[in-house]
Amino acid sequence: MSKLIKPQGYTALLDMVQTEHGIKQIKEFFQQNISTELRLRRVTAPLFVLQGLGINDDLNGVERAVTFPIKDLGDAKAEVVHSLAKWKRLSLAENNIAPGYGIYTDMNAIRADEELDNLHSLYVDQWDWEAVIRPEQRTVAFLKNVVERIYAAIRRTEYLVCENYPCIKPFLPEKITFVHSEDLLAMYPDKSPKEREDAICEKYGAVFLIGIGGKLANGEKHDGRAPDYDDWTTVGENGKAGLNGDILIWYPVLGRSFELSSMGIRVNKEALLRQLKIEDKEERQQLYFHKKLLAGELPESIGGGIGQSRLCMVLLHKAHIGEIQASIWPDDMRQECKAMGMNLI
């Protein structure tokens, strides 16, 4: 309960019926916008994959996947996906997607190791997307352009919500600001990574934080990233490492920074080998996904995930993600949330 943020005087602006309608409108409108903006077509994705192929997303490398035996496969183990970062790249290859085009899908995951609070649930739903790029597009400039287009789709969706529900007022800034994690450390050397995110988001309103996964000048990582999907070691034209990052906003309802998306240009052969060595995970070269990448059988790509419940939470001005999605919460959290006007589904 210590991690529960308790906004003073919180009152939900929409009742349950309005909230459910709002969720539907946001999801339908945003996915149409993002698919048009980035030229993505919808595909059907798995809820689980076979264990041991290296297809599942390892996130920070410590989270346990939910696993179960498959009777008709001799009790071979399947695991519920954490995200579809690697599966999407395999799908791009299988479908011969051309450069400049891509795919998106509804990703549903179970993350049993999450610490439950206003933003974190056992259930994760996001739009996972991936697009084929040309080798010469592996640049910070290209990454920034894609981020700006995603942010524009988010703001268009905010406008729709405010038009439909006049009690909700827009708060997202017109522009998103780009900051590298090394520069953020230099700006706030005495703060923790989370405190640095809060400070920069409060200052600018919306930030794309570049370069997450590698060690910074202080010898610490801003945050963890698996070594085999995002490229966080290639040095860009700004002289700093990292072709990935997070879309963060300042969320006034909770008075803190709020992550809406994690994304990046994906590893090529050189970056994969480099990052596996840094993380002492070189044995992964023998896995199915990694073999295909190292053999040049997977396209260059950019991709990420955009939280569905998180986007709805922000645009409907809710204080707890449990007001948007059905999940499992501790009884004492449910009771305390109810007393504060956060009615968890």
Active-site residue among 25, 31, 35, 57?
A: 57
Annotated catalytic residue, options 106, 223, 259, 279: 259
Residue 259 among the catalytic residues? yes
57 belongs to the catalytic site: yes
Are residues 333 and 120 in contact, defined by beta-carbon separation less than 8 angstroms? no
Query: 58 an active-site residue?
Result: no
Task: List, in sequence order, the alpha helices (H) in 247-304.
Answer: 269-278, 288-294
Whether 126 is catalytic is yes
DSSP 8-state secondary structure symbol assigned to residue 227: T
Which residue of the set 262, 275, 301, 309 is catalytic? 262
Indicate if 335 belongs to the active site.
Answer: no
Lookup result for tokens 């040095």: 235
Active-site residue, selected from the candidate residues 126, 261, 301, 309: 126
Check if 181 is active-site: no
Question: Out of 58, 83, 91, 111, which one is annotated catalytic?
Answer: 111
Nearest CA among 130, 154, 137 for reference residue 313: 154
Q: How far is CA 146 from CA 1, 143, 173, 288, in A?
A: 38, 5, 17, 29
| Catalytically annotated residue among 246, 257, 308, 325 | 246
Q: Which residues are catalytic?
A: 57, 111, 126, 246, 259, 262
